[in-house]
A and B are shown apart, each in its own frame.
Chain A
Amino acid sequence: MKKIAFKTLGCRLNQYETDALASQFQSNGYELVSFDKEADVYVINSCTVTHQSDHKSRNFINQAKRKNKDSVLIVTGCMANNAKDELENRDEINYVVENEQKSSVYSLVDAHFNGEILHPSQLNTDLFSYGSTNKGFHTRSMIKIQDGCDNFCTFCIIPSVRGRASSRPLADILDNVKQNIAKGAKEIVLTGVNIGRYDFKNYKFDDVVEQILNLEGDFRLRISSIEPDGFGDKFLSLLDHPKMTSHLHLCLQSGSEPILLQMRRMYTLKKFKELIQKIRAIRSDFNITTDIIIGFPNESEQDFNATCNIIRELNFGHVHAFKYSIRKGTRAERMPNHVDERIKTKRSEILRSISEETKSNYRKSFIGKEQYVLVEKTDGLNAKGYGEHYIPIEFAGQNIQKNQFYKVLITGIAAGNDPELIGEMIQKKDA
């Protein structure tokens, strides 16, 4: 049996695509092993959204061949698009597969072991032809509904590496969701680059959400990362549906109006705040998580302080903060007044401290409340999983089973900078 190892960097869309590829390889007789083990095939699903992502991707490329010099090394993902020439010139990489052909990696490897060398450009280029993720890495079942982005934020390389916005036909999405539910999926996660801009034959994002929520079955729906500008009141009205989870990752990027304008974001801070108010009017404990870019060109102390203040004010459940780094060809690359790295680092430390405090306070507010936890790991007596607010929860009980919902009373919180909630099992959901 041949062994395959994956390393995934970056966004949830990449995670989904890796999951789907891993499932396909497993279904065809491959054994999935961890990336630090010897394997016959290594697939690096790379990211290029920041300088650090490039650095990590290069490190994993260096590591892969050291484990088995005879292995097949494939690099795909956004770095494969953005640095194709550089990667193709590296002898240790067998194939560089751009995002458009990523769904065909199995065909490429299959052909390779059958003595046929295909050039990746010969592969199928369907953005949505990934199979089921039932054998992948995650309990949650991700569904790709969209790819690409036309927003052209001034800092962002994604439109160049993921291409223009493209939406998957609604019927295909619903079929995919039904298949996953039939195979036992309990949590459906919608994924894409800019899912709020879903647009297929007059069906918008809220139509997709509504139709999935109306499907039969014991499952819950989670929206992953979404831009704050792409949806309206119809979507908000769906947030209190019993199958909808109480979590949205809304990408704010900065708490300063002038910086948001220079980033060419599609909303103002005031609109963002109004949106949060509307969401929390539906469920007051709704978990809003966000992304923040630190040290965008022209970011002054005043701008940065505005970001710190808004994190406190909006009580984010988690802040994914990263330092701005120049992406070649973007509008921000040509902006004046780039911020010194030392200042970015200092601001990062300040922001991390604020966001950890905010996260801890938010999570503590669940002590004494109940959550439905979908179990991802268990030994029968102790279990880990996520509640409907996408907070990690560890609890104790009897005969606990993986991929089942349990009603859990939250009794405490662990220590650390990403503290899990601690709970006690009340009952299995269907009991």
Chain B
Amino acid sequence: MNIYLIIRMRSHKVIGIRNLTSSTYVIRMEKNDFSFKTGQYITLGFTGSIDRREYSIYSSQNADYLEVLIKEVEDGLVSKKLKRCKSGDMLDVDGPFGHFSLQNEELQTKKFLFIATGTGISPIHSFVKSHPELNYSVLHGVRLEEEAYERDSYNKNQYILCTSREKTGDFHGRVTDYLKQNPISSDTVCYLCGNCHMIYEAYDILEKQGINLGPIHTEVYF
């Protein structure tokens, strides 16, 4: 018997599904004995199916359930099927994976800036729910205001919505435009989660604003 090989794939029962927009939804599952560090991701698929996708965990590491935030991809195989799942369905969870995590020693002492685009807000939501005492600001870039997924989860004056296709957000434009116009102090710890272009550009801007390379953490969404 192999004492080192840990089989992590487990079946979790779906508790419910919450539609946030016509294409974006949250699946809540039983947590069972699954544990993770906020910011990590899982791979998810229907039990018995070989088709799996990676999703950051949306819920708090302290919650007694497990949630993922999913956007239905137009020609997607898995996200479309998952959208149709119902309470009682079984999903296979593998993980947790990833190193996009908060550092324990910084939780009480540092000022955080969380920058996300679209559903890249998912691990940020988990950060804030897991550590509500954090000194943080969230910069969330979306196209339309309706994509400000569950913005009530964040303290009102700590969440800035940047909308690029309409003027209904707190700032009209991309998160990178906001960063250029609103430089941040160099002692800020930054976590970036979203598409490659945003991360690449934001990284450059933050560096020019004096943020050292060390305190910038990134997670790419596709």
| A contact residues vs B (CB 8 Å cutoff) | 100, 124-128, 147, 150, 152, 154, 163-164, 166-168, 257-258, 261-262, 264, 266, 268, 270-271, 274, 329, 331, 334-335
From B3-11, B26-34, B60-68, the one touching the partner chain is B3-11
Residue of A whose beta carbon sits closest to that of B43? A152
Q: How far is the CA of A81 from the CA of B206 in the complex (A)?
A: 43
Residue of A100, A150, A258, A266 touching B200 (CB-CB under 8 A): A258
A391 to B: closest C-beta gap in Å: 32
| B contact residues vs A (CB 8 Å cutoff) | 1-6, 8, 50, 54, 97-99, 196-197, 199-200, 203, 213, 218, 220, 222
Residue of A127, A258, A271 touching B2 (CB-CB under 8 A): A127
Residue of A whose beta carbon sits closest to that of B54? A152
Contact yes or no, A100 B5, CB < 8 A? yes
Residue of B4, B98, B99, B203 touching A166 (CB-CB under 8 A): B4
Kindly list chain B residues whose C-beta atoms are within 8 Å of the C-beta of A271.
Answer: 213
Contact yes or no, B99 A266, CB < 8 A? yes
Contact yes or no, B220 A126, CB < 8 A? no
Given A261-B200, A270-B213, A271-B213, A100 contacting B2 (CB threshold 8 A): yes
Contact yes or no, B196 A152, CB < 8 A? no
Q: How far is the CA of A270 from the CA of B200 in the complex (A)?
A: 12
Kindly list chain B residues whose C-beta atoms are within 8 Å of the C-beta of A164.
Answer: 6, 8
Kindly list chain A residues whose C-beta atoms are within 8 Å of the C-beta of B203.
Answer: 257, 268
Kindly list chain A residues whose C-beta atoms are within 8 Å of the C-beta of B222.
Answer: 154, 262, 331, 334-335
Q: List 27 A-B contacts (CB under 8 A).
A: A100-B5, A124-B1, A124-B2, A125-B1, A125-B2, A125-B5, A126-B2, A126-B4, A127-B4, A127-B5, A152-B54, A152-B98, A164-B6, A164-B8, A166-B5, A167-B4, A257-B200, A257-B203, A258-B196, A258-B197, A261-B196, A261-B199, A261-B220, A262-B220, A268-B203, A274-B213, A335-B222
Contact yes or no, B213 A262, CB < 8 A? no
B214 to A: closest C-beta gap in Å: 9
Contact yes or no, A163 B5, CB < 8 A? yes
Kindly list chain B residues whose C-beta atoms are within 8 Å of the C-beta of A329.
Answer: 50
Contact yes or no, A126 B200, CB < 8 A? no
